[in-house]
Amino acid sequence: LSIPSKQLAVRSLAVFDKMMHRIAVAVARKAVPVASVYAGRSGLRGALRTLHTGNVFRDITRQVRSQQRRSAPFAARFFSSDGDIVTMNVPQMGDSIEEGTVVEWVKKPGDWVHVDDIIVLVETDKVVVEVRADNAGKIVTTHAEEDDTVEVGAPLLDIEIGTPPEGSTEAAAEAPAEPEKKAEEATPAPSPPKEEKAAPKAAPKAAPKADTTASAAAVDDGDASTLASHRVEERVKMTRMRKTIANNLKHAQNTAAMLTTFNEVDMSALIELRKTHKDAFEEKHGQKLGFMSPFMKACGLALQEVPAVNSQLDENDNIVYRNYSDISVAVATPTGLVMPVIRDCHTSSLASMEASLGDLASRARSRDIAMEEMQGGTFSISNGGIFGSLMGTPILFAPQTAILGMHATKMRAVVDKVTGEVVAKPMMYLALTYDHRLIDGREAVTFLCSVR
């Protein structure tokens, strides 16, 4: 090569970035016409934001994330050879994310890795990012320990470029089982010594007396020592995600003028609708019909009727109104609460919302959800009823100005509006917490009655 490798790598990387940008925007414009408007205004990110239906958004997002993750070591893959040591840096993990915490090293120094193998898990404010190998080779050094904070772009590990030997992955997977097998082989079951056969018969008779005395002593003590041994304290470090959740909730509590209004809804018609059409719905769409999609649809339409509930206060104290309803839905995961966003709920069908929610919730629990899929919500829904909550006051998910709380459906005695008789009906309490700085009581109650 006549051009120095570094200069050529930089030039190639610039061309590669432009190519990826143009391809993604072109696909976005072809897939969804509306995306062209956003692409013209805010570039690739704006175009991707509108691709919220089907697999187009997910596929393009993953491709762009993959390109971002691999752009830094682009030169290493093309200008490195076997035996060279390449440093992998902490990849980009999302907009406005500058650092993360190392949760677990999946691969250790000395382990062989293939391209795209998971090496380390890094926890950010919202998700756990799987950092994958950009090159095949052997891990030489790691530059951070578990629980260390690492900044984006900082050295993370060194890899010696090379081809992993055959069976290296299988050997690593089977390695934990080998010590157990060897331990079993090295420690055969002891056989009783021959001398025990000649032991006097009086010894076994004395043993029960000792056991009885010991048990009696335990009863006399009231098992105090046994109970005391179970009083254990354990201090566990707060995860980065939990800290972020706590800070956001406290910030919302300190900033917004939160107020909650309640109403109740008769679930009889919705339960009957689901009972009648659930089999046909699942057969046609391949999705089960739940209660979340009707509530998301109702909220999406109500947000169009009452724009104040769909508004937001920006950093310049301007009120931002939207003509679309992107609803964040609270999903409980092992690492904390996440809020994936279902786009355009005011125009989407129940089937598409059920599919989107099922897909996002599943990937959120498996830590495979993208940051872009949890950003941009205009309203939130939290369903504490799945855990048995009868009534509660949800906290705002800033910078949003309202959140709907769903609760458990219980049979209660109510007066029938037609007959005037007291009958038992499945009833659910609804709670709407809103920011009173932007939303008046009239608008909040109107919205909640519209959802009902």
Q: How far apart are CA 250 and CA 397, in angstroms?
A: 10
Q: Is 328 exposed, middle or buried (0-12, 13-18, 19+ CB in 10 A)?
A: buried
Q: Which residues are catalytic?
A: 436, 440
Q: How far apart are CA 32 and CA 264, in angstroms?
A: 39
Q: How far apart are CA 383 and CA 395, in angstroms?
A: 13
